[in-house]
Amino acid sequence: MSKNFDIKILDELKEKDNVKKHFYIETWGCQMNEEDSEKLSGMLKRVGYTKTENKEDAGIILFNTCCVRENAENKVFGNLGSLKHLKKENPDLIIGICGCMMQQEGMADKILKKFPYVNIVFGTHNAYKFPEYLNRVKTEGVQIKEIFNKETDIVEGLPIDRESNVKAFVTIMYGCNNFCTYCIVPYVRGRERSRKPEDILNEVRELVAQGYKEITLLGQNVNSYGKGLEEEVDFAKLLRMINEIEGLERVRFMTSHPKDLTHDVIMAIKECDKLCEQIHLPVQSGSNSILKKMNRHYTKEYYLDLIKKIKEEIPGVTLTTDIIVGFPGETEEDFQETLELVKEVGYSSAFTFIYSRRNNTPADMMLNQVSEEDKHHRFNRLIAAVNERVIAQNKAEEGNILEVLVEGNSKNDAEKLTGRTRTGRLVNFTGENVNVGELVNVKITRAQNFSLIGEVIK
């Protein structure tokens, strides 16, 4: 089910508090969290606040948290602790904390006990109620903690402040039903719920009307799209519908679960001109015994056969992945199988992680936890194996002419522009009379380890 956000709440709050003030948002975690922060920012801007990159200038500070890795949680505690002096200097400062970390049992109470100067604590399922919480803090002076334990209706129509004016995230579904034994996401994001296709299509059309050229469809498992909908629309059909939108140039998506990536989706990528030749397909491990312990529902052989089919149908496709090192019970032999798989597939990039124990997940209670020393040793070897292939692939692009979407100036060299190819490769390049948002042909003159250098060809 879905419902529309009541925008009047923001207008009423703006009338009560019409003095322009600054807010600061810090985000940890995945692209879903990034989009959640864009919505929080959109609500605050609608009320009349302006964004700042400096905590000292802010009247509102929000931390949008992640709980997938222990390191992310530690960063949150450290950052909250650093705000104590700001709150002392400015008692009117409003501090809020939200996101996946807050959905963990007992975490909100732990936060408020350790950092009593926090004003608002809320979770992933009720972020749309943030304006209400803000109003109550301002008018009643109360401290608010509200965490919904179960997923709610999908709320449409939230204002959103996009980080880019060229490419945008569009969430197509929420939650996850897979329950991998290492993962806490199903517990903090809830079960799978799909947005109505017309709501997604309308959002994409609106983005195109605003000048956006590229969208990335988001979901914990986009291949499961369609569950719970009245009409029969699966992910492949949705991709084809989006591909028909005039003015849109590129479409990407993440994340895909290997067990659910169908032949229909592969053919949609092959046949739809706006779908980029890039697939993010997390493998997590190359060992069947570890995959079984992870509850991934596929084997190494199934995964490699799927990769073979993708490469046969989509020439030039690039593949990216997620890999976990040091899962409980992982032996050196298991790790060697992962290295062999990495070499066979030839990923263009990989998100690599050292296994992090998460409370209330089955893997946390497994025997044979791998030592930190072995984890880090294997992690370094994995990075080297991935990078070797990334560098070789970049080198092979020298002399080629590639289509690049201009995203802006390079962060490392203000005299160069930057953008990505359809296959996701980062290119820094020179060119005259080139505008942000334009698609240009760039001749690759030099390959760096993790990016390409080139010049625009007219």
Show binding-site residues: 30, 66, 100, 176, 180, 183
Q: Are strands 214-218 and 94-99 parallel, antiparallel or unpaired?
A: unpaired
CA 197/CA 206 separation, integer angstroms: 14
Report helix, strand and coil shares of the chain as percent, to nearest 5.
40, 20, 40
Maximum Cα–Cα distance across the chain: 65
- What distance in Å separates the CA atoms of residue 214 and residue 252, rounded to the nearest whole number? 8
Tokens representing 119 are 């004003």
User: Could you give the angle at which helices 197-209 and 235-243 cross, rounded to 10 degrees?
Assistant: 30
Which segments are annotated as binding site for [4Fe-4S] cluster?
Answer: 30, 66, 100, 176, 180, 183
**Cα 427 from Cα 405, distance rounded (Å):** 9
Q: Is there a contact between 335 and 378 (Cβ–Cβ < 8 Å)?
A: yes
Tell how strand 426-430 and strand 417-421 pair up: antiparallel
- Tell me the CA distances in angstroms from 315 to 175, 270, 308, 312, 422, one per residue in order: 32, 9, 11, 6, 13
Query: How far is 64 from 101, CA to CA, in rounded Å?
Result: 9
